[in-house]
Copies of this chain bind each other. A is one copy, B any other.
Amino acid sequence: MAMHVYTASFEVSLKVGPDIADISGSLAKIVAASGVRTGTLNATAIGSTASLSTIEYEPGAVEDLKAAITRLAPPDMRYAHEEAWHDGNGHSHVQAALLNPGLVLPVRDGRIHTGTWQQAILINHDNRPRRRSVDVTVIGTD
């Protein structure tokens, strides 16, 4: 068994935040291409107004998560970031920082192992549509 370090990145176009994409398929393709059968997948959302997590990706739970993220840092509050930058996305920075940009998932038998209803998600928190990027590192043995 040889050790491998395989890297890849991909992009997803997302709407005004909070908007959420299921990235399970993209991650699965990367793991398949990596040749790693046993190890870990580490992913990071690139950019300070994006984050990663997992959820049951069905429309209701996604809508509920968007509402909860908005409650964490509503756009209609006062943000000190706005007073300097006036770009309207103070809440976006706060939401992304609270959620964490990273995700670690197990690779077993050449596949990502998650729960049956557990999908990996990428969240755009910015106040405008963004093409968001994710960096993926797969480390393990073949």
Binding site for B on A (CB under 8 A): 3, 5, 7, 38-40, 42-44, 46-48, 53-56, 58-61, 63-65, 68-69, 72-73, 79-85, 90, 93-94, 96-108, 113-115, 117-119, 121, 135-137, 139-141
Verify B81–A60 contact, CB threshold 8 A.
yes
Q: How many protomers of this protein does the assembly include?
A: 3
- Chain B residues with CB under 8 A of A60: 79-85, 90
The prevalent SS among residues of A at the interface is mixed
Q: A5-B141, A140-B5 are in contact. Are A64 and B80 (CB under 8 A)?
A: yes
- Chain B residues with CB under 8 A of A101: 53-54, 103, 118
- Chain B residues with CB under 8 A of A104: 42-44, 102-104
A93–B97 alpha-carbon span in the complex (Å): 18
Q: A42-B40, A44-B105, A46-B118 are in contact. Are A100 and B97 (CB under 8 A)?
A: no
8 residue pairs A–B, Cβ–Cβ below 8 Å: A39-B137, A42-B104, A48-B55, A48-B117, A61-B90, A63-B81, A72-B98, A100-B102
Q: A5-B39, A100-B53, A105-B102 are in contact. Are A59 and B46 (CB under 8 A)?
A: no
